Amino acid sequence: MNEAATAEAATSTARRIAVIGAGPGGLYFAALAKQLAPDRELTVFERDARDDEFGFGVVFSDETLDGIARADPRVFAAISAEFARWSDIDIRYAGEVRTSGGHGFAALDRNRLRAILQQRCAELAVDVRYRTPAPPVDRLAAEYDLVVAADGIRSGTRATHPESFRPELDERHCRYMWLATDKVFEAFTFIVEQYDFGVLQVHAYPYSATRSTFIVEAAADAWRRAGFEALAAREPARGESDLASVRRCAELLAGHLDGHRLIPNASRWIRFTTVRNASWRHRNVVLLGDAAHSAHFSIGSGTKLALEDALALAAALSEQPTLEEALAAYEAERRPVVESTQRAAQASLEWFETIGRRAGQGADQFAFNLLTRSRRVTYGSLRARDPAFVDAVDTAFGGSPGTPPMFRPLRLGALELRNRVVVPPLATFTSPDALPSGFDRAQLTGHALGGAGLVLAGMTAVSPEGRATDRCPGLWTDHQEAAWRQLRDAVRAVSDTPLGIQLTHAGRRGASTAPGPDGIGRPLADGWPLIAPSAIPWDADSPVPHEANDIQSAAVTADFAAAAERAARAGFDVLELQFGHGHLLSSFLSPLTNHRTDHYGGPLAHRLRLPLEVLTAVRAVWPAGRPLLVRISASDWAPGGTTEEEAVAICRALAAAGADALDVSTGEVVAHQRPPYGRGYQTPFAELVRTATGLPTVAVGAISGYDDADSVLLAGRADLVAVGRAHLYDPLWTLHAAAERGHTGPGARWPEPWRAGSRKPPGPNADRVAPRLHLLREPPAPVHRRWSPPPPEE
Ligand SMILES: Cc1cc2nc3c(=O)[nH]c(=O)nc-3n(C[C@H](O)[C@H](O)[C@H](O)COP(=O)(O)OP(=O)(O)OC[C@H]3O[C@@H](n4cnc5c(N)ncnc54)[C@H](O)[C@@H]3O)c2cc1C
Ligand SMILES: Cc1cc2nc3c(=O)[nH]c(=O)nc-3n(C[C@H](O)[C@H](O)[C@H](O)COP(=O)(O)O)c2cc1C
């Protein structure tokens, strides 16, 4: 589209636009929308005065800056001139400082940003009305073609039409306070200080020649114990600061302020609220910036998201033929970006909420853990930015630099695993006769050759009625035992990779068909009677199980022990018991599925009874030295389900009863679960369990990239990583992870007959050599850049 056509489309979609709120989002949108179609009428309503100062510094990443640079070079030039720029992150922890370089930050005073945007709006003749609360939104909606609600995190617009926006406000328990200081930090600085009351953490960064932002944060219990609750007892009026708390923070953190002040500005303790809306639109009203979504300050500022929204909305109004399509396009473009940012922000805020868990870590590992907390920054990206930092952490982890963490050995019981990768149980559903199938043999052989340190066979039932489906194998007859022994021998003939087997009784999840293309099984038409702790079916279509009586429970224990003996005789090196995923023993553990009132139900000690009886019986027959793993569901992802405290108590009990390691999964306990699927979403539970029990843990779930695996291990979140579906995509996943990085150590041993293929084949463009395209190449940016303000002008 040429310029005239663009302007025409723009004004036909929305000629008269009202904007509620002259924050960064509202102002930037107004400027861009006017710039794209100058004959448009834009009116911005702002309840505060033009010069009301609020907030401190704003940080941007290089990515956002690119967007701003192209959308409005004048705004970009004006803000660039004021940037504080640096590339280092300092982590001050336990009296030590670790520095990671190569990150690329730019920050400026939030009030200067607003002033620059105000100036731009004035140049473009945008009508900004200060000290003017917006008229009711429905009136605006009737008078204007479009209403842009950029009215901030407490958006009144959102509250006026909850039926359309369907907001979800998640208020977190940590308390934090925005402050500034006249100490000019040289880098983004995380301060983590341990006091007798708990941990205080500070997120600080420079934003001018004279100021830094200084956000103090504490978990709710530490905050109370520190006495802040009492200090903040009198709610400060709007615009006032909680000066008593500010003074106390200055005292506590004096060692980091070097005699400088903390400077409040309407500063008081607040709790972060994550805002989500099911829709950002109500007829011709659209939400933008904090009104639509918020993301915890620890991963970057809300200002960045608000500016990006403004850019996308202004563009959509020009690019789309109708207002309705423009608003739909805006939301379609922004929602995935925002949701991805919110996932990272959620991981980051939960990391800070549970910071006490990492109290035992050394400074190097702690720094690495902190930097990789949101899962956006990884082992690989940190190495690319600052190899020396990652080498130091690698060395502290006990490895030699250059050996990726996943290729370090691990001793489990008497078994030496050559690396940290596990192929978790992956049932094949190919056993109509309950015997391990040809496909099981092929799959396990493939995975054993594929390089993982440990391979586990899929769920194998301890009794006929314990099968999940009519195509699952079992281990309750001599015939089955012999078939498994044959399979084990066949795998051993070609690979020395340790092989384990998972034993289960499916309980109420039994008697189903094998999963269809949607991954879900259906109840068998001619299934077998099911047992469970309580008569609660899996879902509305499932048969109602019988409440197990004491005789049946005792039989379950005996069946597990007998199957474990058979597994040992069949030659398995590792045994895993399935106490998760809603199978029988998982159902006993969860309060959602165990409603019994006898000695197997009620308090956790009772709910643990049968699982512990099974584990104890298995431990007694399973050979000492051969690792015994237990898989659990550490969360049910449903209200009223297993809590974190209970998950810890369960794992401590399993450790005491003889488990050698815990395979920490979640969910599949009830059909109405709502897991927050996403990369590595179960990993925090592995870290929780590892810290609480001291037992090795296996992290599992959407750890598909080797970079994620390395990050999990080096951060100390788990001792092993299980990679499931990615091994179905590529059975040689582990060896390929080595080849990709040119790693050839003992943790990545290629099968001898395949040695010729141990290097990644050249790609289609491998023989194309790029010519020089620059006369003079720019020198690479230095890894470490610190903020040093320019000397004041004479
Ligand atoms: C105390 C505090 C300090 C912060 N400091 C920083 C910081 O230093 N750096 C940073 O990056 N982020 C900071 N943030 C977050 C940041 O303010 C937001 O993420 C960002 O400003 C979002 O921009 P926005 O335009 O969507 O909303 P906002 O900046 O919140 O702007 C909303 C505007 O709408 C106005 N408004 C609301 N209702 C009406 C109405 N009915 N009529 C007229 N006007 C109305 C408000 O007065 C406000 O000016 C801070 C947040 C808080 C609460
Ligand atoms: C085809 C398939 C079969 C599975 N079979 C089992 C099983 O038998 N027992 C079990 O505990 N988990 C089983 N799982 C779950 C995996 O072990 C693993 O926990 C899950 O796939 C998440 O890891 P991923 O994201 O790396 O795939 C299965 C998963 C898939 C995809």
Summarize pLDDT for 611-628 with one digit per residue, the tens: 999 999 999 999 999 999
CA-wise closest residue to 459 among 451, 449, 467: 467
Label the pairing between strands 167-181 and 212-218: antiparallel
- Nearest ligand 1 atom, CA 304: 11
Q: Spell out where 226-298 has E strands.
A: 262-263, 270-277, 281-282, 285-287
Determine the distance separating the centroid of ligand 2 and the alpha carbon of 724, expressed in angstroms: 6
Residue 506 CB coordination number (10 Å): 28
Q: Which residue, by CA, sits nearest to atom 8 of ligand 1?
A: 56
The protein residue whose alpha carbon is closest to atom 23 in ligand 2 is 701
Neighbours of 702 (CB within 10 A): 18
Burial class (CB in 10 A: 0-12, 13-18, 19+), 333: middle
Question: What type of residue sits at position 126?
Answer: V
Ligand 2 binding residues, C-beta < 6 A: 424-427, 458-459, 502, 578, 581, 631, 665, 700-703, 723-726
137-155: average pLDDT: 97
Give 697-738 pLDDT, tens digit per residue. 999 999 989 999 999 999 999 999 999 999 999 999 999 999
Q: What are phi and psi for residue 27, nearest 5 degrees?
A: -70, -45
The confidence score (pLDDT) of residue 10 equals 55
How far apart (Å, rounded) are the C-alpha atoms in residues 560 and 565?
9
- pLDDT category at 1 given cuts 50, 70, 90 is very low
Residue 600 has a pLDDT of: 97
Handedness of CA 451, 386, 350, 249 (dihedral sign): positive
CA separation for the pair 357, 440 (Å, rounded): 40
Query: Cβ distance 666 to 635 under 8 Å?
Result: yes
Each residue's pLDDT tens digit, 530-562: 999 999 999 999 999 999 999 999 999 999 999
Token pair, residue 464, equals 């006929």
Residue that the structure tokens 């582990």 belong to? 734
702 CA: nearest ligand 2 atom: 25
Q: Using an 8 Å Cβ cutoff, are 787 and 208 in contact?
A: no
Has residue 420 got a pLDDT over 50?
yes
* pLDDT exceeds cutoff 60 at 2: no
- Model pLDDT, residue 709: 97
Q: Which helix (H) or strand (E) covers residue 395, if one does?
A: helix 387-396
What is the model's pLDDT at position 64? 66
Dist. CA 424 → ligand 2 center (Å): 6
Distance spanning both ends of the chain, measured CA to CA: 50
Phi-psi region of 258 (alpha: psi -120 to 50; beta: other; left: phi over 0): left
Query: Residues lining ligand 1, CB < 6 A?
Result: 20-26, 45-48, 55-58, 110, 133-134, 150-152, 156, 178, 213, 289-291, 301-303, 306
Per-residue DSSP letter, 212: E
Given the structure tokens 């940012």, which residue do they identify? 341
Q: Give me the residue label for tokens 């597990």.
A: 560
pLDDT recorded at residue 486: 98
Pairing of strands 167-181, 262-263: antiparallel
Q: Which atom of ligand 2 is nearest to the CA of 725?
A: 27
Q: Does residue 296 have a pLDDT over 80?
A: yes
DSSP assignment of 649-671: HHHHHHHHTT-SEEEEE---SST
Q: Which of 72-86, 161-175, 414-428 shows the lowest mean pLDDT across its residues?
A: 72-86
Q: Could you report the per-residue pLDDT of 447-487, keeping only the tens digit for each?
A: 999 999 999 999 999 999 999 999 999 999 999 999 999 99
Q: What does the angle CA 106 – CA 109 – CA 112 come to, to the nearest 5 degrees?
A: 115
The string of DSSP codes covering 538-563 is SSTTSPPPEEP-HHHHHHHHHHHHHH
Q: Which atom belonging to ligand 1 lies closest to the Cα atom of 59?
A: 11
Tell me the C-alpha distance between 244 and 234, whole Å: 10
pLDDT grade, residue 73 (50/70/90)? confident
Residue 399: which pLDDT band, with cuts at 50, 70 and 90? Answer: confident
> Checking DSSP bridges between strand 105-109 and strand 16-20, what pairing results, if any?
unpaired
Bridge partner list, 697: 662
